[in-house]
Structure 1
Amino acid sequence: MPTVTAAPDADLIAQAVGRLTARTRYPVAFGGMLRDDGVHVTAVSGARTHNLDALVVQPGRGLGGRAVIETRPRLTLDYRTAKGITHDYDRMVLGEGIATLFAVPVLVEGAPRAVLYCGSWGQAPADRVAAGPAFAIADEVATELRIRDEVDRRLARIPHSDRTTVSAATQEELREAYAQLRQISASVKDPALRMRLAEVEHRLAALSVDDAPIELDIALSRREIDVLACAALGSTNAQIGSALGLKEATVKSYLSAAMAKLDASTRLSAVARARRAGILP
């Protein structure tokens, strides 16, 4: 299990570092998010010592710092004698006994947001077979960060006033944001982020619920709520399927199941009943 210290997005980095040692040929992995003063290492996996714990790498310094500045992966097969980098972090890296070190920046919209490192105590292969999994994991982290950015952007737009003051226009925007968040959530792999999305969705739904919401002795599945949220915006079955990556027949099946559970004869009445129950905003 990776060694983890508290930091923003530390859970995401810890999961990525764990995957690096599981899916690459490198026995040591570590990584961290980029902040104002550098890359803060918050997760280490496979290390024999604690020399890498809480390492902070400044942009332009060391192998990872070069990867940040150049926004591309950097590799050295012999860290001790590498001439293309500064050696500010020799005590930490060489203290761990690392010879080969591979640094991969995590890029979001072309900008570095984190750095993932793979290392070995002896010289390791540097071919695409060895590097490919590291690239894939960096892309996975970048995808999660893009989703988090979108969630934060939408969170900032949620009104904090009492629900009775929410205008009709704002309410329609909330409903659109809710449907889009459901679509985003369907593609999220990070359990912590999925939980955060669920909390946001609950907040959005609660903004529109009546003072005396109806109580339903049923539970809609996640996909049934997904298709209802899209249907609430007036989307056709084909449009819902395109948005959620489902076949049109599958969308129809989910809608039928939701309508039956809600005791509704049409999708519009199902949406209305779901809103009164606080399931949809």
Structure 2
Amino acid sequence: MGASLPQRAPNPDRTRAGVGSAVDALDGDAGDARALDHAVAELVRRTRFPVGFGGLAQGDTIYVTSIHGARTRRLEGLVVEASRGLGGRALVEKRPRLALDYRSSRSITHDYDRAVLGEGISTLFAVPVMVGNRARGVIYCGSWAESPVGDVVARPAFAVAEELSAELRIREEVQRRLTLSPAPAGQVTMPATTREELRETYAELRSIAAVVDDPALRARLDRLEKRLAALSHDATEPSLELDVRLSPREIDVLACAALGATNAEIASTLDLKEGTVKSYLQSAMAKLDASTRHAAVVTARRAGLLP
């Protein structure tokens, strides 16, 4: 992880205008902005570096919209171009970048000194947030004194970036489903292929949420799950009121079973033992008064527990 390459001097007017554009863009999907802000806060908490900031990419530009732990307002309005600065290089190269001593680094032109050194940052670490093969943004953590960046800092930083990546990827998929062309007038059922894709997305979302420890992130993922379930409701089929409550794991297992997965496949997906999967299925079937897993899935869907 080398230091950044030379940067262009940022235009102050363009910087402020860029932030306005970023805010306008993020207003259309405030959930992404909230996810980023949560990630930056977690970055500071887990790495114990005093200051963290980050931004999502709009085209080839990163607009910093989240800052935690800063002592000044110098980082506000920061706009990072592709290939410029640590973040710009991380965005293009799709890998972390490090400036151990930002002030004396010879590979940095110091065009961003007003923001970075104005905040008093000495060591700066930038990690790209990858969604598939795309870098959706960059998160940074910095120290006011020169600090080594070993596993104690790098591992939690990578973990935060991966968690944010997972949430952004899921949000993209949910938004894609929500923006599908509406059904023609008089058509009240969702096309079978679309519903099946949605169910696959829901099952994947459940499997990701199952291994997330952060309560706040789990809560946001739960809200996305409910949106998916509501989106797939078949208006032609009457809802079923049930006085039962399935555990999260029972729903996880049923969501996979709904896709035709075997117990072994479900166990592999959810990182469970095959016997444990069987136990969850039997428990869910008993609660739903179903004699087969297929009947349990049908009942759960009518009750709105599954998409």
Q: Calculate the TM-score normalised by the size of structure 2.
A: 0.75
Structure 2 distance, partners of 1:247, 1:58, is 48
Q: Compared with structure 1, are the counterparts of its residues 89 and 226 closer, same or farther at alpha carbon in structure 2 (3 Å cutoff)? A: same
Unaligned runs of 5+ in 2: 1-21
Unaligned runs of 5+ in 1: none
Partner of 1:274: 300
Q: Compared with structure 1, are the counterparts of its residues 201 and 128 closer, same or farther at alpha carbon in structure 2 (3 Å cutoff)? A: same
AA in 1 matched with 2:300: A
Structure 2 distance, partners of 1:142, 1:177, is 16
1:235 aligned onto 2:261? yes
Structure 1 distance, partners of 2:144, 2:124, is 9
1:208-230 CA deviation, whole Å, 9 max, x = no partner?
661x3332222222322333333
- Secondary structure, in 3 states, of the residue corresponding to 2:231? helix
- Secondary structure, in 3 states, of the residue corresponding to 1:113? strand
Structure 2 distance, partners of 1:71, 1:180, is 25
1:56 aligned onto 2:84? no
Map 1:69-218 to 2 at 5 A.
69-156=92-179, 160=183, 164-167=188-191, 172=196, 174-187=198-211, 190=217, 191-204=219-232, 206-207=233-234, 210=237, 212-218=238-244
1:169-222 CA deviation, whole Å, 9 max, x = no partner?
655555555444443443455232331222112222x22661x33322222223
Contact 1:208 1:275 in 2 (8 A): no
CA-CA distance at 1:75 after TM superposition:
2.2
Structure 1 distance, partners of 2:80, 2:290, is 59
Structure 1 distance, partners of 2:195, 2:159, is 39
Deviates more, 1:177-186 or 1:213-222: 177-186
1:29 aligned onto 2:57? no
Structure 2 distance, partners of 1:252, 1:117, is 44
- Secondary structure, in 3 states, of the residue corresponding to 2:53? strand
Which of the residues 27, 43, 48 maps onto 1:20?
Answer: 43
Count of residues in Structure 1 that have an aligned counterpart in Structure 2: 275
Contact 2:244 2:287 in 1 (8 A): yes
- Secondary structure, in 3 states, of the residue corresponding to 2:141? strand
Partner of 2:64: 41
Contact 2:198 2:228 in 1 (8 A): no
Structure 2 distance, partners of 1:113, 1:201, is 27
Contact 1:107 1:113 in 2 (8 A): yes
Structure 2 distance, partners of 1:34, 1:133, is 22
Structure 2 distance, partners of 1:242, 1:62, is 41
Contact 1:61 1:86 in 2 (8 A): no
Q: Compared with structure 1, are the counterparts of its residues 263 and 128 closer, same or farther at alpha carbon in structure 2 (3 Å cutoff)? A: closer
Contact 1:214 1:277 in 2 (8 A): yes
CA-CA distance at 1:35 after TM superposition:
1.2
CA-CA distance at 1:160 after TM superposition:
4.4
CA-CA distance at 1:127 after TM superposition:
4.0
Contact 1:49 1:96 in 2 (8 A): yes
- Secondary structure, in 3 states, of the residue corresponding to 2:140? strand
Structure 1 distance, partners of 2:274, 2:49, is 44
- Secondary structure, in 3 states, of the residue corresponding to 1:51? coil
Please report the RMSD computed on the Cα atoms of aligned residues, expressed in angstroms: 3.0
- Secondary structure, in 3 states, of the residue corresponding to 1:81? coil
